[in-house]
Amino acid sequence: MSGWVIVAGLGPGSESLVTPEVTEALAQATDVVGYIPYVARVAPRPGLTLHPSDNRVEMDRAQHALRMAAEGKRVVVVSSGDPGVFAMASAIFEALEAAPQFLDLDIRILPGITAMLAAAARAGAPLGHDFCAINLSDNLKPFATVEKRVALAAQGDFAMAFYNPRSASRPHQFTRVLEVLRAHCDPGRLITFARAVSTADEAIRTVTLAEATPDMADMRTVVIVGNSQTRRIGPHVYTPRSAL
């Protein structure tokens, strides 16, 4: 099998945050596979075929990439941010587990700057101590699991980064997440709403838990909840590295 599959992270939005390693992989690719808006970030060129698809067909996308690589093609599967964070790297290995005939393929994962880290950098250092990342979407897990994980993370006094907080089809769910936080955290807990980080639409807003409202988030927003020690210094938000 002379082809390969590279799963690459395109970063949070700005082309300046795409790593040179990913840029080189895209320059060598014969085919690019991914969710429609992510494939749209890849410039067309002669010899390159783009394969955009819907966001609910991850396994089909992964299987397609493996089949093309087995035919000798050089395939880049693109994700936003980092491909190992709520993205396509896991789907590729799940597809590989179901199709062991592709085990001899050259498969590589190239890291990217995930939105959580880009958002934290814009705010200051709110993830400076122990933290967790939780995808609030219930597309691939029950919402009861989301609620449980948010509650346990709050009880453990973790800083938290929330992906996919509030969609048009499920706006009530982020309301419920705020209720869970209020049951376990004090009203002064700092929350940063970081929307479209590194793009022209970027907006960063930090409020207290008491001030937070569901409409502060949408699907382009990463929400960062500080722990009990997170505080402001001037315009910056940070979590000390020492635990009290």
The whole-number pLDDT of residue 168 equals: 78
Q: What's the confidence (pLDDT) of residue 54?
A: 87
Residue 170: predicted pLDDT: 82
Residue 212 phi, psi dihedral angles, 5° rounding: -70, 135
The CATH class of 4-113 is: alpha beta
Domain residues of the chain, as ranges?
4-113, 116-238
Distance separating alpha carbons of residues 147 and 93, to the nearest angstrom: 27
Can you say whether residue 198 is alpha, beta or left, with left for phi > 0 and alpha for psi between -120 and 50 degrees? left
Torsions phi, psi for 152 (to 5 deg): -70, -35
Q: Supply the pTM of this predicted model.
A: 0.91
Task: Give SS3 for 243.
Answer: coil
Question: Cβ–Cβ contacts within 10 Å for residue 37, how many?
Answer: 10
**Parallel, antiparallel or unpaired: strands 4-9 and 106-110:** parallel
Q: What count of other Cβ atoms lies within 10 Å of the Cβ of residue 80?
A: 23
pLDDT tens, residue by residue, 39-88: 999 999 999 999 999 878 999 999 999 999 999 999 999 999 999 999 99
- Supply the pLDDT for residue 171: 80
- The token duo for 139 is 């597309």
Residues of the chain short of pLDDT 70, as ranges, are: 1, 243-244
CATH topology of domain 116-238: 3.30.950
Task: Look at residue 6 in the predicted model and tell me its pLDDT.
Answer: 98
